[in-house]
């Protein structure tokens, strides 16, 4: 299935039904009075976060979505039926914005979450609503209200705890395969990853975190080069970034330090907040480096890269060094979750003051 993380749709809630003008015509009931009912409500348009979906491809080919209008009111005190609602299933992590103004309207962050993205119009009043002591035979009615109509942009940002950064062929897909249940395409040529992959890493019973692997970045990605710039948005909700570096490139003319600096520069150009996220350095493909050269090569890289953060040495292919990295990531994710869930302290002077 083709991966699509951006789509534009037009939605229209149903119009309300019109009210009815009617009078009772029954034998032996003179001056029966008005009995025109109200029109029915127009159908609403709902959006639901479906955890079984991971792409917006359905909305790339089906752009127009309309709910049914409400039925008109009828005589004999009969109100019109409400229009049928429609529900649009979207992946968890979908952002819904106004396509014309760019305003963010809704975000679907919780599986099963349901929101109303367009309200149906109210039904009009029938003439029985206008009956009074001085107006015994009203002939007034009101039309139904129109339903909301919107042009929306859907943007998917996957929900993951950890995001993987790196040049093509740095070993990101091999790493996510080694530590999680994800099975992306792996080959000995660049750009094997064409869309984001999510993997769940199990640390223990009821202990896990989610890793997102995006296509590799190249220099100039923030200006549109390569594939990775299209998917950098998927790293914006992560708590931690792993910068995976190929410590043993096939081409001797390729400098890992130069490649690593290019990735950092592209990240900074794309989004300053993304650049400021916690970032760990993961030196991969140690199995390709002779044992006696590993320590020297790692120290040389860290020195020339001028890196002062956490450094992990691994071989994703043999899983060497992956276990300590996984446990360190889990501890970091847990600490971030605790900080997010801490209650906010309220100044006792304002506690219970509804006006604040």
Question: Is residue 54 part of an annotated ligand binding site?
Answer: no
The answer, yes or no, to whether residue 205 has pLDDT greater than 50, is yes
Same domain, 183 and 319: yes
Tokens in use for 292? 């006696």
Mean pLDDT across 328-351: 65
Question: Is residue 169 part of an annotated ligand binding site?
Answer: yes
Q: Where are the beta strands (DSSP E) in 13-148?
A: 45-50, 64-66, 86-91, 94-98, 104-107, 114-118
Question: Is residue 212 part of an annotated ligand binding site?
Answer: no
DSSP type of residue 136: S
Q: Does a structural domain hold residue 37?
A: yes
Question: Is residue 83 part of an annotated ligand binding site?
Answer: no
How many domains does the chain contain in total? 2
Same domain, 143 and 225: no
Question: Is residue 213 part of an annotated ligand binding site?
Answer: yes
Question: Is residue 215 part of an annotated ligand binding site?
Answer: yes
Give pLDDT tens digits for 116-153.
999 999 999 999 999 988 888 899 999 999 999 999 99
Same domain, 119 and 221: no
Tokens in use for 298? 């790692």
| Residue-level pLDDT at 238 | 84
> Between 129 and 233, whose confidence is greater?
129
Question: Is residue 170 part of an annotated ligand binding site?
Answer: yes
Q: Does a structural domain hold residue 297?
A: yes
Contacts of 111 by beta carbon, 8 Å cutoff, 6+ apart: 49, 50, 51, 92
Same domain, 209 and 334: yes
The pTM (predicted TM-score) of the whole model is 0.69
Q: Does a structural domain hold residue 48?
A: yes
Question: Is residue 222 part of an annotated ligand binding site?
Answer: no
> Between 205 and 349, whose confidence is greater?
205
Same domain, 274 and 259: yes
| Residue-level pLDDT at 105 | 93
Give pLDDT tens digits for 70-100.
999 998 889 999 999 999 999 888 999 999 9
Contact of 144 with 121, CB cutoff 8 Å: yes
Place of tokens 């002062």: 308
Question: Is residue 174 part of an annotated ligand binding site?
Answer: no
| Residue-level pLDDT at 346 | 44
Mean pLDDT across 14-18: 95
Question: Is residue 195 part of an annotated ligand binding site?
Answer: yes
Same domain, 208 and 297: yes
Same domain, 92 and 224: no
Mean pLDDT across 150-179: 85
Q: Does a structural domain hold residue 352?
A: no
Same domain, 96 and 180: no
Distance between CA atoms of residues 237 and 235, nearest Å: 6
| Residue-level pLDDT at 213 | 81
Tokens in use for 57? 């491809």
The CATH number given to whatever domain includes residue 14 is 2.70.210.12
Q: How confident is the model at residue 342 (pLDDT cuts 50, 70, 90)?
A: low
| Residue-level pLDDT at 6 | 82
Question: Is residue 192 part of an annotated ligand binding site?
Answer: yes
Same domain, 149 and 173: no
The parent domain of residue 182 ranges over 162-341
User: Last residue of some domain: 156, 173, 206?
Assistant: 156
Same domain, 71 and 23: yes
Question: Is residue 285 part of an annotated ligand binding site?
Answer: yes
Place of tokens 């290019």: 262
Contact of 141 with 19, CB cutoff 8 Å: yes
Question: Is residue 191 part of an annotated ligand binding site?
Answer: yes
Question: Is residue 277 part of an annotated ligand binding site?
Answer: no
| Residue-level pLDDT at 187 | 43
The answer, yes or no, to whether residue 182 has pLDDT greater than 80, is no
Same domain, 142 and 178: no
| Residue-level pLDDT at 225 | 46
Q: Does a structural domain hold residue 186?
A: yes
Q: Does a structural domain hold residue 34?
A: yes
Q: Does a structural domain hold residue 139?
A: yes
User: Last residue of some domain: 134, 156, 178?
Assistant: 156
Q: Does a structural domain hold residue 304?
A: yes
The CATH number given to whatever domain includes residue 265 is 3.40.50.300
User: Last residue of some domain: 129, 156, 183?
Assistant: 156
Question: Is residue 217 part of an annotated ligand binding site?
Answer: no
Same domain, 181 and 118: no
Question: Is residue 22 part of an annotated ligand binding site?
Answer: no
């Amino acid at each position: 299935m083709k991966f699509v993380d951006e789509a534009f749709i037009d939605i229209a809630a149903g119009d309300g039904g019109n009210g009815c003008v009617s009078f009772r015509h029954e034998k032996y009931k003179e001056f029966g009075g008005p009995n025109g009912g109200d029109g029915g409500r127009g159908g609403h348009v709902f959006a639901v976060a479906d955890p079984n979906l991971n792409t917006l491809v359905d909305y790339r080919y089906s752009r127009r979505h309309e709910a049914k209008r409400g039925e008109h009111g009828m005589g004999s005190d009969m109100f019109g039926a409400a229009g049928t609602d429609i529900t649009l299933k979207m992946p968890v992590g979908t952002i819904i914005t106004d396509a014309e103004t760019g305003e963010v309207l809704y975000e679907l962050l919780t599986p099963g979450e349901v929101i109303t993205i367009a309200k149906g119009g109210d039904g009009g009043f029938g003439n029985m609503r206008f009956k009074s002591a001085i107006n015994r035979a009203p002939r007034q009615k009101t039309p139904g209200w129109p339903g909301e109509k919107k042009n929306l942009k859907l943007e998917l940002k996957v929900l993951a705890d950890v995001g993987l950064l790196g040049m093509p062929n740095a070993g990101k897909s091999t790493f996510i395969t080694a530590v999680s249940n994800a099975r992306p395409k792996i080959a000995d040529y660049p750009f094997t990853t064409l869309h984001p992959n999510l993997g769940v890493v199990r640390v223990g019973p009821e202990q896990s975190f989610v890793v997102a692997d995006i296509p590799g970045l190249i220099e100039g990605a923030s200006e549109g080069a390569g594939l990775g710039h299209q998917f950098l948005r998927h790293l914006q909700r992560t708590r931690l970034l792993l910068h995976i570096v190929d410590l043993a490139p096939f081409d001797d003319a390729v400098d890992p330090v130069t490649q690593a600096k290019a990735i950092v520069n592209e990240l900074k150009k794309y989004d300053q907040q993304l650049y400021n996220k916690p970032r760990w350095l993961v030196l991969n493909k140690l199995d390709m480096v002779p044992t006696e050269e590993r320590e020297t090569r790692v120290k040389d890289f860290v020195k020339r890269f001028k890196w002062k953060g956490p450094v992990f040495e691994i071989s994703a292919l043999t899983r060497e060094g992956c276990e300590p990295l996984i446990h360190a990531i889990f501890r970091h994710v847990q600490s971030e979750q605790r900080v997010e869930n801490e209650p906010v302290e309220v100044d006792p002077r304002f506690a219970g003051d509804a006006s604040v």
